[in-house]
Amino acid sequence: MQLSGMSKSPSSDRLDFVDMLRGLGLLFMVVDHAYDWWLVEAENRGSWGRTTEFIGTLAAPLFLVVVGVSVALATDARRARGIPEGKATWFLVRRGLLVWLWGYLLNLMVFFDGDNWPDLFAFDVLQCIGLGMVLIAPLAVWGPTWSFPLLALALGWGGQFADRLVFPGYLGTMVNGIPPIAYFPLLPWLCFIPVGLLWGRAMARWREDRARSNQVAVGSAVVGLIALMGAALAPSDIGYRHPRLVSILFDLAVAFWMGTVLYFWCRWSWGRRALSWLRDMGRETLLLYLLHHLVGFRLFYLLGWVTGRSWRGQYGVFDIPQATLLLVVLCSVMWTAAWVWSRWKAQPGVWQRRARLWL
């Protein structure tokens, strides 16, 4: 039975609302980066800049939760096709390593100027996602469902005290952000992926049962409410860096609520059509992640429109209306690129097969 709320592409096992949720995370990130990079200092430090910065804090948690969901759904689909578990695990590990390497290539193409070597090895969100996929792959394929929430709890709570762990050199950068530069160290950020695994396994189990799927969606909203209550009660001083425990619980609440809203929104065909652009962007997130950095930062930097990143005391040259217009143009370019790219790489051919492998 084909569910309208969990509708799939004709030629894949993807769920529209999951792609939309990933696309929403991408959109939040682009909004944050655009105003952070492009605004003049006075407006960047104002209420508009602070608001868009808050929106941007939701992007990485959404990405990581959806990584877990996608891994669970992909594993279930491969198991249904009779693919051996070892091969399914290797697929996830290979994909994770590829995303991890793309992160460093992006640092080289966008942020490296020949002498700022720490930026070249910055541990950013792509590195966190990629290495997280590698580490979580065996659990996703072989692990029991009950282990997912326990792992999420251990990583989320234990990660608040990860500064007490001592690792040599770059291993410390990757694990707990000590020494820098690490924007998204594995602890505590990795805790979002097992939450997504649990969510995705529930979707996979009942994706062909409409009543059960609805119950999963409603249950997700309830879990989101519980997470929000936990955020309200959790001590705000627990944790040594972002995300603290309060932020983790709040971000999970937002992720569950957004997922529930998008699930029921996609129950109607007109709803899916109205947000098809968001679905298209969500299906090509890696490509668009690279593109928006290359255009929104590197190209503008070469043109003299961006001097750096705000947290380094460097800003852009645009006011809010100008930056907003540029943001609309950039998002239009990104959607067009996603639409063209997805249709091109779906065709048979050697180059298309390589494109599907690398992006």
- Residue pLDDT, tens place only, 118-152: 889 999 999 999 999 999 999 999 999 999 999 99
Percent of the chain with pLDDT over 90: 79
Separation between Cα atoms, residue 309 and residue 13, nearest integer Å = 39
Higher pLDDT, 182 or 68: 68
Tokens of 315: 């800003």
CB 208 within 8 A of CB 1: yes
- CA Rg, the chain, in Å? 20
Query: Is the pLDDT confidence value at 207 over 90?
Result: no
Q: Which residues contact 291 (CB under 8 A, 6 or more apart)?
A: 333, 334, 337
pLDDT band at residue 6 using 50, 70 and 90 as cut-offs: very low
Bridge partners (DSSP) listed for residue 123: 182
Q: Would you mind telling me the total number of residues written for the chain in this entry? A: 359
Separation between Cα atoms, residue 326 and residue 334, nearest integer Å = 12
Q: What pLDDT shows up at residue 314? A: 80
What stretches of 46-168 show up as alpha helix (H) in DSSP? 47-56, 59-80, 85-106, 117-120, 125-142, 147-158
Q: Give the count of beta carbons closer than 10 Å to the beta carbon of residue 158.
A: 13
Q: What pLDDT shows up at residue 14? A: 67
Tokens of 189: 């950020």
pLDDT band at residue 312 using 50, 70 and 90 as cut-offs: confident
Separation between Cα atoms, residue 251 and residue 228, nearest integer Å = 9
Q: What pLDDT shows up at residue 208? A: 85
> What is the DSSP secondary-structure string of 217-260?
HHHHHHHHHHHHHHHHHS-TT--SSSSPHHHHHHHHHHHHHHHH
**Interior/surface letters 200-234, b for 16+ CB within 10 angstroms, e for the rest:** bbbbbebbeebeebbebbeebbebbeebbebbeeb
CB 28 within 8 A of CB 56: yes
CB 20 within 8 A of CB 264: no
Burial of 258 (0-12, 13-18, 19+ CB in 10 A): buried
DSSP 8-class letter at 110: I
Mean pLDDT to the nearest integer, 35-64: 95
- Alpha-carbon distance values, 240 to 176, 210, 237, 243 (Å): 10, 43, 8, 9
Q: Which residues contact 214 (CB under 8 A, 6 or more apart)?
A: 5
The domain ranges of the chain are 16-358
Mean pLDDT to the nearest integer, 276-297: 96
Separation between Cα atoms, residue 70 and residue 286, nearest integer Å = 14
End-to-end distance of the chain based on CA atoms, in angstroms? 31
**Which of 149, 4, 3, 8 is closest to 77 using CA atoms?**
8
Q: What pLDDT shows up at residue 129? A: 98
DSSP 8-class letter at 7: -
Mean pLDDT to the nearest integer, 251-277: 95
Q: What pLDDT shows up at residue 247? A: 96
CB 68 within 8 A of CB 196: yes
**Which of 195, 98, 201 is closest to 144 using CA atoms?**
201
- pTM for the complete prediction? 0.94
Query: Is the pLDDT confidence value at 9 over 50?
Result: no
Separation between Cα atoms, residue 156 and residue 158, nearest integer Å = 6
